[in-house]
Structures are given as C-alpha cells and as structure tokens.
Structure 1
Amino acid sequence: MSKTTRATLFLKQKGAQFTVHTYDYDPDADKVGIQAAEALGERPERVLKTLMALVDGKPVCVVVPSDREVSMKKLAAVFGGKSAQMMKPADAERATGYVVGGISPFGQKKAAPTAIEEAALVHDLVYLNGGQRGLQVRLRPSDIAGLLDAKMAPLVSDE
C-alpha cells in the first residue's frame, strides 16, 4: 500500500504535522469507521469518518466521530440550507476522486465546504482517512479545521 495519496501530499504541502497509520481494511464491515477504530486500537470517537452530503443540492463534506450519525437538520442549518441528504456513493467518488471507504477531506478533486463535529475538538489527536482504504492520518482537530477552513458545529444526531 502506498502511503502517499493526494491527501498526504495536501497535508505535506500545507506544512501540517501528521502521522500516517495503516490497518487491514475490511470491505465487508458493517461500519467502516468503527472497523478502522478497532483495527487501530482506538476509541471510535477519536476516529473520524468523512462523509459527503448535499445541502440544497450542493456538495458538502462532513466529518464526525465514527460511532455517531449526522443530523441532516443540523447539517443543513450549518450551511444555511433548508435540507440535506447523503450523497450517493458514486457521486461522492466522482466529486472527491476517492473511493468510498477511502474518502478524505484533504486533497479532494473539487474541495467542498466542510463542517466538523465540534465534539472532536476535545481530543488532542484524532484520525481521519488518508485518501485510501486502510490508511489513516493522525493530527490535531484544530489543525484539521484550519487546513480545511471548516465550520465547527454540533452535527450529530441526539439519539
């Protein structure tokens, strides 16, 4: 597996401090983010998942802990929209240039406005997809927000 992806190149170009971690990706896992956390020996709330959604038909990137679900109502509100829905996997792959299970918020083909669950800020370091299945990057959540010019907001469902 190559540890150099568009995501890691993006992070290097921006001078970000990060480490790269690999794990055995299970394509049959029910929840890819949870499987990544288990494989890395980390708590799920420290392993963030990258999702692509549409707010009023426009692509957005959403980063939340792997054990939580996005509230579409909260997501729409963060971007000043009326409605939000998850992007179809094929559309997410086309928009980002990454395959599902390997979508990173960094180095996307066409950068989308990004929102990050504010609860991620309580951790010193978190993991995010590094642009390839089985590849994670670990860095400070505040660095993620700055690198992506992301909105920090409550995004997860209350259930």
Structure 2
Amino acid sequence: MKKIKTNVLRLLDQQHINYETREYEYDDNHLSGEHIVHQVDLEADEIYKTLVLHDHHEYLVCCIPVMEEIDLKKLAKASGHKSVEMLHQKDLLSLTGYMRGGCSPIGMKKKFPTYFQEDILLLDRVAISAGKRGLQVILKPQDLIQYVNGQCVDVIR
C-alpha cells in the first residue's frame, strides 16, 4: 500500500514533528463528525474540525472538537472582532487551498490567526485533517498549536 503524503505531512516532516495518520472512508452524504469518530478509533474530543471564518475584512481559523458547535460571539470576542461568520463553502478552496472535509490549519495558502478550543490543552493527542478528505493526522496538541502560532480560547457553545 502506497503511503499518502499530503502537503500537511510534508510540512510536519520538515519541522521534525512526530505524527501518525489514520484513513477513513470519506462520504459526501455523511459529513458529520460522528462518521469520522466511528472509523478512526479515537475519542470524539480528540478529533478537531477546522473552520474558516471572516469579519468582512479579515480571515481567521478555528479548530474545535468535531462533535461541538462553534459559538460565533465567543470567537468574535476572543479574536477582537465585533462579529464573525463562517466563510462560504464556495470560497474555501480558493482562500485556503483545501476542500470542505479536508481543510487543515496546517499549510493553508496564507497564515491566518488560528484559535483552538481551550480543551485541546487537556489532550495527549489530537487528530485534524491531513489536508485531504479521508485522512487524519494525529499529533501532540502543543506541536500543532506552536506550529500554527495558535491561541487557545473558549469558543464552543
């Protein structure tokens, strides 16, 4: 079986950051976090999804547990904005270089301010998209946060 190397994995290799990967069956009809949780043998709170948002001037990235919902008011306050909203799905690829279901905070076309749900600090490991639908990368939260120069705040409902 050929090993998949995404841009995310190449960037982690360059920084000598240890990681492992897990593949799962990607299905456009089942984009729920539950779909991934049942396939990757990790706890739901160890799997984070990457959301891209904006305030009409600036873009920002937020990573939260896959089964949770973002609180836009909390994120706006934590990031120093009046309000923020989700980026429209049709703009995701051109802005980040990633498709929905394969968006990672690592390796976007530009570096954006990145926020993590603060509970990530309680974990020994966290899984995020490896930049491709159906592939997760698992690494230490501290390595991830440091790599993207992220901030940990409370942003879920």
Query: Normalization by structure 1: what TM-score?
Result: 0.93
- Contact 2:47-2:65 at 8 Å conserved across structures: yes
- Contact 1:23-1:135 at 8 Å conserved across structures: yes
- Contact 2:127-2:136 at 8 Å conserved across structures: yes
- Contact 1:5-1:132 at 8 Å conserved across structures: yes
The one-letter code of the counterpart of 1:42 is: L
Note the residue ranges of structure 1 that are not aligned, 5 or more in a row.
none
Listed one character per residue, the Cα deviations across residues 107-158 of structure 1 (whole Å, up to 9, x for unaligned) are: 111121100001111110110000000000001111111011001100101x
Q: Partners of 2:55 and 2:79 in 1: how far apart?
A: 7
Q: Which moved more, 1:66-75 or 1:13-22?
A: 13-22
Q: How many residues align?
A: 156
**Percent identity among equivalent residues?**
29
Listed one character per residue, the Cα deviations across residues 30-66 of structure 1 (whole Å, up to 9, x for unaligned) are: 41x3211111122211110011111353111110000
Q: Partners of 1:43 and 1:125 in 2: how far apart?
A: 10
Task: Look up the match of 1:104.
Answer: 104
Matches within 5 A, 1:63-102: 63-102=63-102
- Contact 1:6-1:108 at 8 Å conserved across structures: no
Task: Look up the match of 1:9.
Answer: 10
Task: Look up the match of 2:27.
Answer: 26
Q: Which runs of 4+ in 1 moved over 2 A?
A: none
RMSD of equivalent CA atoms: 1.4
The one-letter code of the counterpart of 1:8 is: L
The one-letter code of the counterpart of 1:29 is: H
Q: Partners of 1:143 and 1:81 in 2: how far apart?
A: 27
- Contact 1:3-1:20 at 8 Å conserved across structures: no
Note the residue ranges of structure 2 that are not aligned, 5 or more in a row.
none
Task: Look up the match of 1:128.
Answer: 128
Matches within 5 A, 1:52-63: 52-63=52-63
- Contact 2:62-2:114 at 8 Å conserved across structures: yes
Q: Partners of 1:103 and 1:37 in 2: how far apart?
A: 17
Deviation at 1:67, TM superposition (A): 0.7
Query: Normalization by structure 2: what TM-score?
Result: 0.94
Q: Which moved more, 1:122-131 or 1:22-31?
A: 22-31
